[in-house]
Structure formats: C-alpha cells, structure tokens
Amino acid sequence: MGVITIPRYQTVTKKIIEKYESGKRAEAINELVYNLRDKDFKVRAACAEVLGNIGDLRTIEPLNELLNDDYSEVRIAAVQALGKIGDARVLDSLEGLINDEDSEVRLVTIKALSRIGGERIIHSLIKSLDDSDSRVQTVAIESLGRMGPKAIDPLLKTLLPQNPAASKPHIRAFAAKALGEIGDPKAMDTLIKLVDDPNSFVRLNAVEALGRIDNPRAVKPLIKALEDKEAEVRINAVKALKIVRSEEVVENLIEALQDSDSRVRMWAADALGVKGTVEAMRPLISLLEDSDPRVRENAVKALGKTGDEEAVEPLMELLRDEDERIRDVADKALSIIAKKYGLSKDEMLRRTKTELQEE
C-alpha cells in the first residue's frame, strides 16, 4: 500500500491554523503573511484564504499585493479574502481586476465589490454588464438591483442614446433587467421606450422589468407587447400582466389564449387563473381541448379558481384523459369548485350526472 502524501500547502496552513487556535494569533498571522511570498502558488493561495477567514485589517496591504500575482488561483484567493475583510480601502485595487483576463477572477471580483458595497462601485457593476461571461453579467445585475434607488440614475445615463454603451443590445437589456430588479417608477419612461427596441432580447427584458415595477402606466405597453412578433416577448408580457393589478387586462389575456405559441397560451391561462375573473371561464373551457398538455393543465387549474357549475361537465370529461397529470389536476379542480357550493366532490359529481341524465 502506497504512502499518502499530503500536499505542502495543506501542511503549512494546518500548522499555522493550529498555532492561531492555540492563542498565538499574532505569530500565526505573521507566518501567514510571510508565506504569501512562498514560491509555491498553492501555498500563497491557501494562506490568503486563511487570512480572509481571520479578517484582520492589518493583512490588507500584503493581500493587496497578491492581486498582481501571475497565477489566477492566487488572485482569486486574494480577492475573496479582501472581500471577506470588507474594507473600502481595497476598492481601487479590486476595481482594476474587472478587466482581468481570467473570467473566474472577474467573477469573484464583482462578488467582492458587491459585498463591500457603496455607491462608488456602481460604475464597475455597470461596466461588468458588458462582460463576456454570463455569470459575471448576472452577478452585476443582481448587485445593481440590491443597490436600490442610488443605482437608477447611473443606469438611466447608460441607456441614453449618446452613451456609447447604449449601442450594445445586451447592455440595454441588462440595464433594463437591473432597473426592474430595483423596481422604482422613475425608470418607467425609459423602460416603456425599450418595449419598442429593435432587439427582441432588449424588449423581453424591458417587458419583464415593467411587470416587476407594477405601475398603472405599464399596462398599455405590456398589452402592446402581446402582439410582438417574438414569442418570448409575448410570454414575458403575459407574465407581467399577471402581476399588474388592473382589471382592464383580462380581455387581452383572454385573446392571448388563442396565441399561435402554446407557451403563450399556457401562461395566459395561468394569468387568468390568478386574476380569478368569471368572464374567462368559457374561453378557458375551450382551451381544455388544446393539443399541448401543459396548456390544458393550466386551463384546468384556472377553472378550479374561477369556474362555476358550467365548468364541471367538461372537467369531468378530463377525469378519463390519457394524461395522468391532467386527470389529477382535473380532480383537484373539481374538488375546489365543489367546495364553493358547500359540497363534496362526489356529491357534486353525482348531482351533475343526474342532471345530465334528465336532459
């Protein structure tokens, strides 16, 4: 049986951690800082990680020096350590790494900047919307959303026609998404304009953002988006109208039940179930014969929420559907409708069968 060799970086950090835990903290920190210059990059990275966990402000400067290390693993460990320490003094150094050649370094840098926070990182977050790595873009969007109202003006300036960044569709799209995350009505005018953007990715993000803000002014542009040539935009419009608190959208959602894309029909049925309007019952009943089982399923669920006795017979038919999922949701929908009339499902079904036989 061969001898198991423990990597040197583990041996080094283990001894120092034991020293730190025994009470010799200053001595242990000094050793960790000393080993940040070790010839083995794995030792440098491991010691940086431990220093981050300790969080001593006196280690900021030596950790800062590692941000220029030739090995990305070391730069990543140093960035994460400085992010954990969370001192604003490192912002200048960290912001320099949002252009690092390694996407993992850029990712942990954006996370570290977001953790430290402050208005001054907004520019870096917006710049990272243009990153080639979707993970970096996502973290930047989420971070801008958490920044709240103070990020709105910089985002709106990014979307101005005279801003070079605004010429890039993905920047417009991600800025719109971030504005939706913030949810401030101040962004309404810009988002409404973006609903007419020539790029479909921008339009679908603008539509989603309008739904998140939930402002009465969003209704008309969202209804307009139901006629977009791209199905993904129409889907987001339906989802947004589901959230918007307005009764005037019911008719438009009913029309969306006839959309050529089954996903739009599916989400329109879901939205009408949430709205809970009786006028949608017959259009939903007609959807029970849809070729897509996902559409039928959402129509059944919606009828359970909005339907009355008129929906019972067509739902009973679905208890014999070849799709087990459809049979199950139909059974549950019938139970919900029966409860509205103070009946058990079986009582309601017996009554309905009797009435059908007498006709």
Cα(247)–Cα(215) distance, integer angstroms? 13
Average pLDDT over residues 12-29: 94
- Which pLDDT score is estimated for 2? 56
Least confident of 1-5, 39-43, 63-67, 184-188: 1-5
Best CATH choice for the domain 145-245 from the list 1.20.210.10, 3.40.640.10, 1.25.10.10, 1.20.1440.230: 1.25.10.10
**Are the C-beta atoms of 176 and 206 separated by less than 8 Å?**
yes
Alpha-carbon dihedral of residues 323, 327, 328, 330, nearest 10 degrees? 130
Cα–Cα distance for residue pair 285/299, rounded to 1 Å = 7
CA–CA separation, 113 vs 153, rounded Å?
A: 19
For residue 123, give both structure tokens.
Answer: 């520019």
Q: For every residue of 217-234, which 3-state class applies, written as one string?
A: HHHHHHHHHCCCCCHHHH
Strands, E, within the chain: which ranges?
A: none
Q: Where are the domains of the chain?
A: 1-79, 145-245, 279-359
pLDDT of residue 193: 97
Model confidence at 185: pLDDT above 60: yes
CATH architecture of the domain with residue range 1-79:
Alpha Horseshoe (1.25)
The predicted structure's pLDDT at residue 308: 78
| Residue 9 falls in which region: left (phi positive, over 0), alpha (psi -120 to 50) or beta | alpha
- Does this chain's domain 145-245 share its CATH topology with 279-359? yes
Which fold, 279-359? Leucine-rich Repeat Variant (1.25.10)
User: What confidence tier does 34 reach under pLDDT thresholds 50, 70, 90?
Assistant: very high
Angle between helices 72-85 and 103-116 (to 10 degrees): 10
Helix/strand/coil for 195: coil
Q: Indicate if the alpha-carbon torsion angle 313, 315, 319, 323 is positive or negative.
A: positive
CB-count exposure of residue 270 (10 Å: 0-12, 13-18, 19+): buried
Dmax over CA atoms of the chain, in Å, equals 93
Q: How many CA atoms lie within 13 A of 333 on its CB side?
A: 35
